[in-house]
Structures are given as structure tokens and as C-alpha cells.
Amino acid sequence: MRHYLLTRAAYGPDVPLDVNRRRLDLTEGVLVRSLAAQTTKDVTWVVLIDPKDPLLDERISVLRESGLRLVTGDAGRMVRGHRFDRPWGPWPKYIERDGPTLTTRIDDDDAFAPWVLERFTAAAEARTLRKRIIWTLPVGWRTHAGRVNLRTDVLTQFTALYSPSRDTHTIMHINHTSMDRLAPIEPLTEDPAWVWTRHDDARSKDSRASTMNRDAMLPLTDEIRAQFDIDWSLV
């Protein structure tokens, strides 16, 4: 079974350079650093980018710091800010279908706990499956300005899809809020498994820092910091 991690990081010349730079800093200090700490590296990371990105060479250099097998491809119309700003895209062309596959999604400004990719792989390899199934990580930390709140989401964006042989679907086939239409959903664990950063450069309006007054925010503790290998000063 092959395991693919899917991320979109498509920032073209229409994105203000300061916004592009802030996002790349988050990618490096949050996402890439958390991937470099993963307990397995037997994963292929497919990152769809904008070939006209003014920070392209630097962005690819940062992505390579993860230590995962890296494949980059053209995001096409899925560039940041386009009206086709949806997760579906040319993902299948970068995936070898010589057996069942596991596709896991994460955004370029979020983080996984170090055990996540290994746990997803182990779940898929532990069972003989003939149909699609989605494993979710329902519990994690949302962060902003050095404060956090513990979040539980039924339809979380931190998910993996098992696809049997000859099935070309990926976890990006549908928006995560509708993923129950794609396959049955099972929670993988109730342990806090991710960091979801909130900031005003986020694509989703619900992800922006300006919405944080909806949530009861708590101080960031050393115990929480120890769960994730990231640059906490960025979040």
C-alpha cells in the first residue's frame, strides 16, 4: 500500500508578496517542521504549487526540509484567491495505482503530531478492506497569538482516505465538510493530533484570526508545546 500526503501551496504573482512570505514562514516553521518530526518517512508528499510563484525556488527548498519523498505539480486553477478555490484538482496524476492507496490531507499552515502519519498507515495495514473508508483526527488545538482552544470537529480537515485497488478517488475529491458523501467515517483517535493556525491571511473566513472572539481561548502551556515539534512563536 502506498501512502500519499496531499497539500496545496499555490501562491502566484497576484498574491501580495508579504502575504506569500508570511505563508511560507508558516509552512516552514509549522507544517514542514512537524513533518520532519514524523516517526515514519515512508510517505510521498504531493504538493501542488503555482509555477509562477515569485518565491518558488525558496518554497521548494523549504518543502524538501520535511525529509519526505517530495513530488511537486502545477495546481492549475487552484491558485490562492481564484474562484475555483476548492480542494479538487489534478491529484490522481501524481499517484501510482498499483494497489490500494492511502491519501492524507493537510494544509500548508497546519501541523500534525509526530505519530500521525505512522498511525494512519498502521490503521490501513491492519485490516483487509474492499471499500473506501475515511479516518479522521477529530481532536486538536486551534491557535492564535500564543493562545489555544481544544477543538473537536466531526468533519475535520485532518483526514485520510483508504481507496482500494483501481479506485482513483483521493481525500481531496470533495471538500472535507461533505466528506461523509465520499466514504464511511471512523475516528482514528481521540488524542489531540493537530495544530490549526488561525490568521487573517487564511483562505477560509472561519480560519481567520478575526473570528477568534467566538472561542474561549486558553494560555499555551509547556505540556501542549511538547506534543508538537513546531515553532510556537509563529502561532
Parallel, antiparallel, or unpaired: how do β-strands 111-112 and 133-136 relate?
unpaired
pTM of this structure: 0.91
All structural domains of the chain, each given as residue ranges with its CATH number in brackets, are 2-137+150-188 (3.90.550)
Does the pLDDT value for residue 82 go beyond 50? Answer: no
Which of 93-107, 155-169, 207-221 has the lowest average pLDDT? 207-221
Q: For residues 90 and 133, what is the distance between their CA atoms, to the nearest angstrom?
A: 21
Does the pLDDT value for residue 75 go beyond 50? Answer: yes
Mean pLDDT of the chain: 89
Q: Grade residue 84 by pLDDT with cuts at 50, 70 and 90.
A: very low
Residue 141 — φ and ψ, nearest 5°? -110, 130
Q: Which residue has better confidence, 81 or 76?
A: 76
Average pLDDT over residues 63-92: 79
How far is residue 70 from each of residues 43, 62, 63, measured CA to CA in Å?
Answer: 9, 11, 8
123 Cβ neighbours under 8 A, 6+ residues apart? 135, 160, 188
Q: Grade residue 86 by pLDDT with cuts at 50, 70 and 90.
A: low
pLDDT at 198: 85
